[in-house]
């Protein structure tokens, strides 16, 4: 790790912060959404599911473009920023969080929804006959049963946010300590032919990606009840 400039470490810290906050927000938002998608009988729920899944298939440049417009003075982001005298949410850490939440949402919703669906109606019915309120049954029965899905969602959401590039590039403005995350830093190093830094960070990302996926698989295997 010798010879790496401080800007690399600033980027590492920023990336971890961004991914952590995004993952927490995603768990809070995605869990009820996944629950509704798993349980609802509404005919249009697959429409909602498709909209949530859109970032999987859209090029990051499309998302980045819409974010740039939405975060700017003419969009909701600019209105929000106006509350504290700002002009835009682009070029801010908060803007990146907003973008990342949308961008990584499908990676979190899908595993949790699968977990809720795999569980079936039965556990909740049993809990109801034992006079547990739906709210209590959700916390004490459904969530623990869905643990592997929650874990998978959290790891994927975190890793995918770390790996995010196109959207950040388009709305970030490359500000050290604010929006210059690792993937953008690598891009700069490649553009300026700084191969040492490029190799170290790129190698580190590969190792991190492998560990994340591998740990997730191990944990999932251990947690999954026998026969499920």
Partner 1 sequence: MLNRRSFGVGIAAALFAFGTLAGPAMAATARVAVAANFTAAAKEIGTAFQKQSGDTIDFSFGSTGQLYNQISNGAPFDVFLAADTKRPKMALDQGYAVKGTDFTYAIGQIVLYSTDADLVKGKQTLTKADFDKIAIANPKTAPYGTAAVQAMKAMGVYASLKPKVVQGNNIAQTFQFVESGNAALGFVAFSEVAQSEKGSRWVVPSDTYDPIRQNAVILKNGKGNAVAKAFVDFLKGPQAARIIKKYGYATAKGN
Tell me phi and psi for residue 47, to 5 degrees.
-65, -45
Min separation Cβ 85 and partner 1, Å: 9
Min separation Cβ 206 and partner 1, Å: 19
* Binding mask of the shown chain, residues 132 to 171, with x at each position contacting partner 1 by CB under 8 A: -------------------------------------xxx
190: Cβ contacts below 8 Å, ≥ 6 apart: 198
* Binding mask of the shown chain, residues 41 to 80, with x at each position contacting partner 1 by CB under 8 A: ---------------------------xx-xxxx---x--
Q: State the Rg of the chain over Cα.
A: 20
Q: Which is nearer to partner 1, 71 or 108 (CB)?
A: 71
* Cα distances (Å, whole numbers) of residue 141 to 114, 126, 132, 150, 157: 16, 10, 10, 14, 24
Whole-number Å distance between alpha carbons of 56 and 106 = 7
| DSSP class of 85 | T
Whole-number Å distance between alpha carbons of 12 and 188 = 15
Q: Which is nearer to partner 1, 32 or 203 (CB)?
A: 203
Residues 182-221 touching partner 1, rule: CB under 8 A, are: 187-188, 190-193
Binding site for partner 1 (CB under 8 A): 68-69, 71-74, 78, 86-88, 90-91, 169-171, 173-175, 187-188, 190-193
């Amino acid at each position: 790790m010798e010879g790496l400039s401080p800007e690399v470490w600033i980027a590492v810290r920023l990336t971890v912060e961004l991914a952590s906050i995004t993952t927490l927000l995603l768990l809070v938002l995605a869990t009820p959404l996944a629950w509704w998608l798993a349980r609802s009988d509404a005919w249009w729920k697959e429409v909602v599911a498709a909209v949530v899944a859109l970032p999987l298939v859209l090029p990051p440049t499309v998302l980045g473009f819409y974010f740039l417009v939405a975060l700017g003075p003419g969009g909701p982001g600019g209105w929000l920023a106006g509350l504290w005298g700002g002009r835009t949410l682009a070029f801010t850490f908060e803007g990146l969080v907003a973008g990342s939440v949308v961008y990584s949402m499908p990676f979190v919703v899908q595993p949790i929804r699968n977990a809720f669906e795999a569980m079936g109606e039965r556990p909740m019915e049993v809990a109801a006959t034992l006079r547990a309120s739906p709210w209590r049954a959700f916390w004490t029965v459904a969530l623990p049963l869905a643990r592997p899905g929650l874990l998978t969602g959290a790891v994927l959401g975190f890793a995918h946010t770390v790996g995010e590039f196109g959207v950040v590039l388009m709305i970030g403005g490359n500000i050290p300590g604010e929006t210059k995350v690792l993937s953008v830093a690598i891009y700069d190093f490649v553009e300026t032919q700084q191969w040492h830094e490029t190799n170290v960070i790129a190698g580190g990302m590969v190792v991190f990606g492998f560990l994340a996926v591998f740990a997730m698989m191990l944990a999932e295997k251990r947690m999954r009840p026998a026969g499920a």
